[in-house]
Structure 1
Amino acid sequence: MTAEIPPRQGRTTLQDVARLAGVSAKTAARAINGESNVRSDTRERVFTAAATLKFRPNRLARELRQSARTGAVGLVIGNLDNPFYSQLAAGVDHALREHDLELIIASTDDEPEREKVVVQAMLERRVTALMLVPSATDHSYLEGERQLGLPIIFLDRPPVTVVADSVLWDNHTDVRKAVHELATRGHRRISALADSPELFTATERLTAFREALTEAGIAPDETLILTSIHDATSAASATADLLARDDPPTAIIALNNRISIGAVSTLLRDDPTCAFVGFDDFDLGETLGISVVTNDPREMGNYAGQIALRRIREGTGTPERISLPTRLVQRGSGERPASSPHPSTRGSRPAPGLSGSD
């Protein structure tokens, strides 16, 4: 190489590599891309120049020149701080990693308007497939992409006003089973804590809750059904308000993991004898003896990843709607019989699930 190393400010370009190697930019590109019509000595000069300049090829730009899509799959989720979503992403990544596909993750914080912004950013990246946990109530904005052949897979919640693959939970069977178990232990004042009723999962689980009460001969008391609880802090506050009533519930069902965490923190402090069942497992759930309707987010992510791979390989076909099972895990807190706790004794009882059988 006879050329001098050019002074640089910022990232090294392909033109810099070509200049140092004494070749054209086209020849440098062919050498770096591994094309066969490049002499071995020329290829060696280009690689040496690239290493000297610490050149990093722009994979995205190369893919966009070669095809309409990149080698990336987009995953749009709710809150990054929710362990459910991290497990979900791990399942997707496990399905994709052996197929030379990168996973790009973005969060909407469950805000419908932000969903459209995040999805648009994914589409501008020319992802080869799109997976999302939706928060919007209208997905017609994706119809054009679907018609162009982009694989779109919805997770946890189904699409609205667009036809696409979806992987969901069975939100009914084990919620109903949990209510029936509480009813057989004498509970008649059973409370439910749920997220926004605009969310599919919250609505489905509340429907199952009400149906199970009716089947058990218990008239649903809407004053015991609290919604729009978005996090552990609001769940803790809602639980405290319930327990402070003149006629508090003897059992509580929390319909997602963040609500469970907040509710349990209040119950441990104010009334550990109140029966409790959560939906989705959470850290320390087993240690504290908390009964839950559990699922496997990794399994959901893996299913979605497999569908994406098949759609990428075979093209779009008849959309699938997969319903994955849940499981009621009894650890003690949901098996407590109904009682009438007195305010003077609240806070002095052992934690749920840690006091032996009742």
Structure 2
Amino acid sequence: MRDIAARLGVSAMTVSRAIRGDDGISEDTRQRVLAAVAEAGYRPNDLARRLRSGEPDELAGLIVTGLANPFYAQLAVGVEDVATARGTGLVVASSNGDPGRERELVRSMAARHLAGLVVVPAGNDHRHLTGLPVVLAATPPRGIDADCVLVDDFGGTYEACRTLIGRGHERIGFLGLPPALWTGSERYRGYAAALEDAGLTLDERWVRRHRGDVRAAEKAARELLARPDAPTALITANNRNTIGALRAARDHPVALAGFDDIEVADLLQLPLSVVAYDAAEVGRAAARLLFERSGTRQRVVVPTRIVDHP
């Protein structure tokens, strides 16, 4: 601003007022200043301005458990859509499924005085989020009072299992997630309920439950499909498990139904049914709850549908 003021023969305060759009200067002077600023390529440093004024950052935070998972990428797109529309930037970080890492990230973001956080928790104890403007995604709050956005985990898995049963399958295996996770317990519950309602016995020998990992899922699927009493169909509890099962199915043909759609599903030679939903809407709904806090706690459930590929 001093350089622009010296070039135009005005005070630095006049330049500042012109940039901010304040009154007290003529329109001719304002336009001269703005033209000189544009010619010089000057851009306001919002961070420096806020540090000087003490204003909070116009930033929101998003913490997920794994950026490699396409679900979280789409969730981030949804949060960013809402944040951008209201002029708020977004800081994204991954806990890598580690609750300790998540707590460190929360402390770091809280110190920056962000507008709020959307968090996909890595653990079951959420008390470290107390006192922050926060919305949980994919998991309901435990130990705190907070808004949350969930997917219809139970209903989606129930319908996937019923789809396989309707096609004549009675030996249906399950590649699930750890029971401590909300998604792990709810999707297993949907699988078990569908079998029970169809009069079929849930055989734990056909069940494997681990944190979603492609290699672990492939190994588990191969073990199940190599059994003498191998299941004729598998339900996979997320997209990473589905990819692992697809790799195993190259050597052991099996009917598959998986939670989460995958981009290349329509290119597969093997028939695949998926529990599809709008992952970006999970993020948009969470961001709307964060920015439009009503004072009344809300739980939003994003619906699912069954899609057959190819």
With structure 1 as the length reference, what TM-score do the two structures score?
0.76
| 1:142 lines up with 2:120 in the alignment | no
- Aligned partner of 2:261 among 281, 293, 299: 281
SS at match of 2:47: helix
Look up the equivalent residue of 2:116 and give its one-letter code. Answer: A
1:318 aligns with 2:296: yes
Match for residue 78 of structure 1 among 54, 58, 65: 65
Deviation at 1:22, TM superposition (A): 8.0
Corresponding residue of 1:337 = none
Q: Does residue 1:271 correspond to 2:252, yes or no?
A: yes
Q: Which shifted more, 106-115 or 300-309?
A: 300-309
When residues 134 and 63 of structure 1 are mapped into structure 2, their CA distance, relative to the original with a 3 A threshold, is same
Letter in 2 for 1:280: D
Query: Is contact 2:125–2:142 with CA below 8 Å preserved after alignment?
Result: yes
Amino acid at match of 1:270: D
1:127 aligns with 2:94: no
- The reply to whether residue 106 of structure 1 matches residue 93 of structure 2 is yes
Q: 1:236 aligns with which of 197, 212, 218?
A: 218
Q: Shift in Å at residue 15 of structure 1?
A: 7.2
CA deviation map 1:292-317 (0-9, x unaligned): 11111122222222223322xxxx50
Q: 2:177 aligns with which of 190, 195, 199?
A: 195
Two-structure CA RMSD over aligned residues (Å):
2.7
- Taking the TM superposition and a 5 Å limit, the aligned residue runs for 1:158-173 are 158-173=140-155
SS at match of 2:173: strand
Q: CA deviation at 1:166?
A: 0.7
> Which of 278, 281, 291 matches 1:309?
291
Corresponding residue number in structure 2 for 1:181 = 163
Count of residues in Structure 1 that have an aligned counterpart in Structure 2 = 307
Instruction: Give the Cα–Cα distance (whole angstroms) in 2 for the partners of residues 19 and 129 of structure 1.
Output: 41
The 1:27–1:324 alpha-carbon spacing in structure 2 relative to 1, beyond 3 Å, is same
Task: Give the letter aligned to residue 194 of structure 1.
Answer: G
Take 2:144 and 2:230, find their aligned partners in 1: how far apart are those partners?
Answer: 43
Indicate the SS of the match to 1:220.
Answer: coil
Counting aligned pairs with the same residue, the percent is 38
Give the letter for the 2:260 counterpart: D
Equivalent residue, structure 1, for 2:20:
33
SS in 1 for 2:118: strand
Runs of at least 5 residues in structure 2 that lack an aligned partner in the other structure: none
Deviations 1:140-161 (A, max 9, x none): 122222xxxx3x2111112221
Residue by residue over 1:10-34, the C-alpha shift from the partner in whole angstroms, topping out at 9 and shown as x without a partner, is xxxx777778888887666555433
Query: What's 1:5 paired with?
Result: none
Does residue 300 (structure 1) correspond to residue 282 (structure 2)? The answer is yes
- Give the conservation status (yes or no) of the 8 Å contact 2:161–2:257: no
* Structure 1 spans left out of the alignment, 5+ residues: 1-13, 332-352, 354-358
TM-score by length of 2: 0.87
Cα deviation 1:167-222 (Å, max 9, x = unaligned): 10111123112222323444332111122222211111011212222222222222
* SS at structure 1 position matched to 2:130: helix
Is contact 1:196-1:229 (8 Å) kept?
A: yes
Aligned partner of 1:216 in structure 2 is 198
Partner of 2:307: 329
Do the aligned partners of 2:15 and 2:33 also contact (CA within 8 Å) in 1? no
Q: Relative to 1, partners in 2 of residues 1:125 and 1:24: Cα closer, same or farther, differing over 3 Å? A: farther
The answer to whether the 8 Å contact 1:229/1:235 transfers is no
Give the drift of 1:43: 8.7
Task: Write the letter of the residue equivalent to 1:228.
Answer: H
- The DSSP-based 3-state class of the residue aligned with 1:178 is helix
Contact 1:155/1:166 (<8 A) preserved: yes
| Structure 1 residue 237, shift from structure 2 partner | 1.4
